[in-house]
Amino acid sequence: MLDRAEAHLPELSRSVVDCALYRDGARQPGAPDVSALCEEARHAEGAFVWIGLHDPDEETLARVAEIFGLHPLAVEDVLHQEQRPKLELYEDITFLIVRAAQYVEHAELTDTSEIVHTGVAWIFVSENFVVTVRQGAVGELRSVRADLETRPELLAQGPWAVVHAVYDRVVDGYVEIADAMQVDLDAVEASAFSRHPNLGIGQIYQFKQELMEFKSAVMPLQRPLAVITDRQALTLPKEIRRYFRDVADHHARVVEQVIGYDDLLSSILQAHLAQVTVAQNNDMRKIASWAAIAALQTAIAGIYGMNFAFMPELQWRYGYPAVLTVMVISAVLLYRRLRRSGWL
């Protein structure tokens, strides 16, 4: 239900991107006096108001909430921007949160590469209005409005057509990101298992962090889509519900991809750690082998450096070169033995 309020927005603030009345799928001309548009939408069959906000300040949000009768708890969620995607029912108003995502092009993967940027959109939808609030540079909705206005047959379905258009745009973005991340993942996998890998633990871990950010946007959207497509949970036009089922199918594909990427990346990370451990063990074996060779020579030299009076071959003319020969031969034999066993 739309509550009439004396407060209105005769001149749209900078945070209000657009505001219009739609009737039978067509945008109606006229000045964007929000209160007047709301009153007209209440009494005109097949009409609704769509107002879009971008990074609104608290005062603007409070005035919009007063005009449309938005629940204080939902408004509080908008003010606390770090929210998970969800769907809440407040009497005749449905409140939805969705996180849009955008792929960041990058020449190579580094320890600080940003692969995914996310933004949050809040949607208040009722029988006679839609209020969309967007935060950040990701997930602009101006083009969504423009596309919808070229499809009056879809807009004629009512406010939920706007919600579908937003969800469809967001999920299409997920699909594009998932496909782009598949290319990155293939490159990471090829490098991690190459003979001379050029990716370290830092780069792989950074990629996993970016995947987790993308996953936090994608996965929680499953429940709102399940509620929307459930006939008993919400009353939606039959055609719009059909469109939402198509969005849910695309979203399910992305969910499967993200889960698969997460599992594969965890396996790559573990395999890379194992490779590092093996390489360290090989280095330690080489160090131990050379230490053993040096220790043998040290032992022989140490024995003949004791300077006891009665030691074999002390008075022998060739004792010194003979001991050196023994040291060299023992070192060569030990080296060959260690090399044959794979330690060197």
Q: Which domain holds residue 318?
A: 282-340
Residues 301 and 241 in one domain: no
Residues 149 and 178 in one domain: yes
What is the pLDDT confidence band of residue 307, given thresholds at 50, 70 and 90? low
283: its two tokens? 């280095």
Residues 75 and 180 in one domain: yes
Residues 324 and 178 in one domain: no
Q: Of 231, 252, 275, which marks where a domain is finished? A: 275
Residues 266 and 291 in one domain: no
Residues 154 and 302 in one domain: no
User: What SS3 class is residue 153?
Assistant: helix
Sign, CA torsion 13/17/21/27: positive
Residue 320 sits in a domain whose CATH number is 1.20.58.340
- Top pLDDT among 183 and 6 is at 183
Torsion of CA 67, 49, 230, 215, to 10 degrees: -80
Burial of 222-233, coded b for 16+ CB within 10 Å and e otherwise, reads eebbebbbeeee
Residue 75 sits in a domain whose CATH number is 3.30.460.20
Examine residue 5 and state whether it is found in any structural domain, yes or no: no
Residues 287 and 271 in one domain: no
DSSP E strands, 59-182: 86-90, 93-103, 116-125, 129-135
Examine residue 2 and state whether it is found in any structural domain, yes or no: no
User: What SS3 class is residue 197?
Assistant: coil
Residues 185 and 329 in one domain: no
Residues 230 and 317 in one domain: no
What is the pLDDT confidence band of residue 10, given thresholds at 50, 70 and 90? very low
Q: Is the pTM of this model over 0.85?
A: no
Domain count, the chain: 2
Residues 55 and 31 in one domain: yes
Examine residue 8 and state whether it is found in any structural domain, yes or no: no
**3 pLDDT more than 50:** no
Examine residue 6 and state whether it is found in any structural domain, yes or no: no
Residues 195 and 331 in one domain: no
| Best CA proximity match to 178, nearest among 264, 244, 269 | 264
What is the pLDDT confidence band of residue 232, given thresholds at 50, 70 and 90? confident
Instruction: Order across the sheet with 26-28: list the strands.
Output: 26-28, 16-23, 47-54, 129-135, 116-125, 93-103, 86-90
22: its two tokens? 């739609």
For 175: left if phi > 0, alpha if psi spans -120 to 50, otherwise beta; the answer is alpha
Residues 271 and 295 in one domain: no
Examine residue 1 and state whether it is found in any structural domain, yes or no: no
Q: Of 260, 275, 290, which marks where a domain is finished? A: 275
Q: pLDDT tens across 161-198, in order?
A: 999 999 999 999 999 999 999 998 888 888 777 766 66
Q: Of 221, 251, 275, which marks where a domain is finished? A: 275
Examine residue 11 and state whether it is found in any structural domain, yes or no: no
